[in-house]
Structure 1
């Protein structure tokens, strides 16, 4: 036991292997990810600004979109700046406390996003299936409660995973990843991690499958309601209110289910890095683009803002 504690105390920092060792590849990746990161920041900040300034967007759907953009900003900022800095660092190190914080924040933001997408699916269900009672059902208190519950659930799950992960005695400090990620850190443990893997599976079920089930049930009712609409124009309008959200749901849930709920394989480490990269860099960039380019209200608010700036 003493030997385990000494080993754990020795790990004062971690070394991240990152994505590439070739200098040219690192420069190319830096330019690519910096561009994507800037698009992420500008896109999500613009969504927040438009919803704040345009009173037509002060509805439950856009309230949840505001929270989603905030979560995406926090998630990207917890990982991407460090990853960009490491492209030009000979020694890609991260202190132990910073690693714990990074894992906790990124995991909390990821979990919160899943629950938010579930809440947004319920919002779309009410809008399509109970349009006459929408404002009564989706009142401010319920929206605030769903958003707060999503964040609390995400942070609670993340705190639990961070505690049981970093209490393990660690024999190594070299992480084969570009960030501190649960499965990558668990591979450093000196002891059997079967319990931790079971907890990761349970966490994955609660954080991924429960919101996913809510999404499936909501969209089951939505599809049934749309099919009962007689006019093609009415069906198209009803589906249009859900298209952006459904696109984001498929993208986010699909990537994470592939990472955590599939059988382990020899190439699992590289697959995890690829999917984690997609979720940390690509998804936060695409979310505001999907919601803005496919949404007439957001585009109208953007055009209004441009006209006011040009005056």
Structure 2
């Protein structure tokens, strides 16, 4: 906890990734390229699913919303980081910092919920295929997606409200964005309530999401192993492998970041895991979900052919 000084803080200074001036431009170029890849890849997924009627199924609707979440979470952090790297203007207002924190937690909650729903979708498709149409109807899918966004937008409010007016004079955030733990360490007020809320909501949302996903995959794997056909087992595994890979990466990074006491916070280590979550997960999702997905690739090539055909000049015969 920071010492209690007089006067309220109205803005913070973001320390950033490095103090070395020589590294600012290389880091700017690196993160700009990564950001463009993330936006391009996730926008491609969103557009192909939107314009391809063959992909208007529950699994692809969830994947489309995951792409929206990845674009939003990355855009919440990386443009501000790029601006600071190129301009060296590291100040951020208290309101701007709290807004960034709110959307960071909100979109992380969305991703947890979406990946859990996608695991349930795979469970129903493989373990209970006869009831798939009823259990994953358009109405049920819309309800699940709406519930995901409601949880994401409501859950961070308590954290932000309790943190908003708890700063006095310490205003240097030794991080590259307004993360929860660095803000807790800067607070000159008692942060016990915020820490309790973090652990309670983290357990209710993060651990329960992990538990539901784990249970779903236990049933999925046990069902797949009972399939006698080798081709059938490979096909069933292929539909789950991409989702399982994304789940493992997400939970490993976020659990390493937040499932620990505040006192054990390590600056360099947690900056690294924050980068993994903010950059690696949205960057890998488009690659993992599309490279070996035949349905998506067919829809992508069809859409590309339609676009190219519409752009080519029409030959007129007289």
TM-score, length of structure 2 as denominator length? 0.92
For 1:66 and 1:41, locate their aligned partners in 2 and report how far apart those are by CA, in whole Å.
Answer: 13
Q: Aligned match of 1:247 in 239, 245, 265?
A: 245
Q: Aligned match of 2:269 in 253, 265, 271?
A: 271
Residue aligning to 2:288: 290
Task: Report how many aligned residue pairs link the two structures.
Answer: 307
User: Deviations for 1:111-137, whole angstroms, at most 9, x for unmatched residues?
Assistant: 110011101100000000011221111
User: What's the C-alpha RMSD, in Å, of the aligned pairs?
Assistant: 1.8
3-state DSSP of counterpart to 2:220 = helix
Q: 1:66-77 maps to which residues of 2 (within 5 A)?
A: 66-77=64-75
Residue aligning to 2:192: 194
For 1:240 and 1:81, locate their aligned partners in 2 and report how far apart those are by CA, in whole Å.
Answer: 35
Residue aligning to 2:312: none
For 1:24 and 1:302, locate their aligned partners in 2 and report how far apart those are by CA, in whole Å.
Answer: 41
Q: Aligned match of 2:212 in 214, 218, 242?
A: 214
User: Deviations for 1:130-160, whole angstroms, at most 9, x for unmatched residues?
Assistant: 1122111100111111111111111111112
Task: Confirm or deny: 8 A CA contact 2:13 2:92 kept in the other structure.
Answer: yes
Q: 1:141-180 maps to which residues of 2 (within 5 A)?
A: 141-180=139-178
* Pair 111,267 (structure 1): closer, same or farther in 2 beyond 3 Å: closer
Residue aligning to 2:103: 105
Cα deviation for residue 31 of structure 1 reads 1.0
Q: 1:17-32 maps to which residues of 2 (within 5 A)?
A: 17-32=15-30
User: Deviations for 1:226-254, whole angstroms, at most 9, x for unmatched residues?
Assistant: 01111111111111111111111001111
Runs of 4+ in 1 over 6 A off after TM superposition: none
Structure 1 residue runs of 5 or longer lacking an equivalent are none
User: Deviations for 1:28-67, whole angstroms, at most 9, x for unmatched residues?
Assistant: 1111111110011111111110001111100000010111
For 2:53 and 2:231, locate their aligned partners in 1 and report how far apart those are by CA, in whole Å.
Answer: 27
Structure 2 residue runs of 5 or longer lacking an equivalent are 310-318
User: Deviations for 1:175-211, whole angstroms, at most 9, x for unmatched residues?
Assistant: 0111111111111111332332222211221221111
* Pair 29,231 (structure 1): closer, same or farther in 2 beyond 3 Å: same
Q: Aligned match of 1:135 in 129, 133, 136?
A: 133
Task: Confirm or deny: 8 A CA contact 2:49 2:64 kept in the other structure.
Answer: yes
3-state DSSP of counterpart to 1:87 = helix
Task: Confirm or deny: 8 A CA contact 1:36 1:282 kept in the other structure.
Answer: no
Please say which structure displays the higher CA radius of gyration: 2
TM-score, length of structure 1 as denominator length? 0.94
3-state DSSP of counterpart to 1:187 = helix
Q: Aligned match of 2:121 in 89, 113, 123?
A: 123
Cα deviation for residue 6 of structure 1 reads 5.9
Cα deviation for residue 267 of structure 1 reads 6.3
Cα deviation for residue 170 of structure 1 reads 3.5
For 2:301 and 2:208, locate their aligned partners in 1 and report how far apart those are by CA, in whole Å.
Answer: 38
Cα deviation for residue 266 of structure 1 reads 5.9
